[in-house]
């Protein structure tokens, strides 16, 4: 992932600072290249392709053994059970390695990942980061994490206990919309800043800033 420039990082930081001027809530922003490596999904695709190829060959052995003999020039070759098993295994191994290799091209790899898996792992990553960076780290339990994962095109908002008790999850939809509209046009910093502004407005409504309020969490953008 190409990191945001200093000016882009400052844009997000200023948005957080401005939003927190009107609320006791604490906003943490995280930008991730991806939420997971998805090695398990890549392995499943490679295994599925390999076993499919092996099953097809085992179902129509005469066609494939004849094709193989034609290629190598063994016209009168009689296949033994052991040779056929070796051919089936070899084809499966080749298919497995080929499918594993082509998934090194990241656009294809992420295209092959089912949408529910992307959503689940983006949410899991956001919750994990929230527990590390914001959970129970404010006096009033008013921390909010705004998480954006670029490869999955997923965004998550995770709120601390006091906020979750007052703000229903669907309320964050406007903030998500504001953010993703910009991100889809490759304006990542602007999207994060817009999302922060919407989150700040929601927090200000339910958790207005008090006279004794202090900044408890850093305003800067975290890139992982």
pLDDT of 4-37, one tens digit each? 889 999 999 999 999 999 898 889 999 999 999 9
More confident residue, 17 or 140: 17
Indicate if the pLDDT at residue 1 is higher than 60. Answer: no
Residue 101 has pLDDT above 90, yes or no: yes
What are the residues facing 31 on neighbouring strands? 148, 223
Provide the mean pLDDT of the chain.
88
Tokens of 115: 């949408």
For the chain, list the domains and their CATH numbers.
Answer: 6-36+114-223 (3.10.310.50), 39-111 (no CATH)
Return the H-helix or E-strand segment holding 146. strand 143-149
Helix (H) or strand (E) holding 143, with range, is strand 143-149
State how beta strands 143-149 and 222-223 pair: unpaired
pLDDT category, 69, cuts 50, 70, 90?
confident
What is the pTM (predicted TM-score) of this model?
Answer: 0.82
More confident residue, 221 or 64: 221
Tell me: pLDDT of 76 over 70.
Answer: no
C-beta pairs of 96-103 under 8 Å, 24+ apart in sequence: 96/46, 96/47, 96/49, 96/50, 97/46, 98/49, 99/45, 99/46, 99/49, 99/50, 100/42, 100/43, 100/46, 103/42, 103/45, 103/46
Q: Which tokens in the block code for residue 152?
A: 């999955």
Res. 2: pLDDT tops 60: no
Quick: pLDDT tens for 175-202.
888 888 888 888 999 999 999 999 999 9
The CA–CA distances, whole Å, from 29 to 165, 195, 214 equal: 21, 10, 18
The torsion of the CA quartet 92, 111, 222, 125, rounded to 10 degrees, works out to -70
Higher pLDDT: 165 or 70? It is: 165
140 vs 163: CA distance, rounded Å:
9
Q: Are strands 143-149 and 154-159 parallel, antiparallel or unpaired?
A: antiparallel
């Amino acid at each position: 992932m190409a990191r945001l420039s200093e000016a882009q990082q400052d844009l997000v930081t200023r948005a957080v600072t401005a939003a927190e001027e009107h609320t006791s809530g604490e906003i943490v922003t995280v930008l991730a290249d991806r939420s997971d490596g998805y090695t398990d999904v890549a392995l499943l695709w490679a295994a599925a392709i390999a076993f499919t190829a092996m099953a097809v060959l085992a179902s129509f052995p005469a066609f494939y053994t004849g094709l193989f003999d034609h290629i190598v020039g063994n016209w009168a070759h009689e296949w033994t059970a052991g040779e056929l098993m070796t051919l089936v295994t070899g084809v499966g191994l080749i298919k497995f390695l080929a499918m594993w290799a082509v998934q090194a091209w990241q656009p294809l790899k992420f295209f092959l990942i089912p949408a529910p898996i992307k959503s689940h792992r983006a949410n899991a990553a956001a919750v994990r980061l929230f527990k590390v960076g914001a959970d129970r780290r404010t006096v009033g339990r008013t921390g909010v994490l705004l998480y954006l994962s670029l490869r999955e095109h997923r965004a998550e908002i995770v709120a601390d206990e006091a906020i979750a008790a007052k703000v229903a999850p669907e309320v964050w939809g406007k903030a998500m919309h504001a953010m993703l509209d910009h991100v889809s046009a490759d304006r990542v910093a602007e999207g994060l800043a817009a999302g922060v502004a919407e989150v700040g407005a929601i927090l200000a409504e339910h958790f207005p800033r008090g006279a004794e309020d202090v900044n408890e969490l850093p305003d800067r953008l975290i890139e992982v």
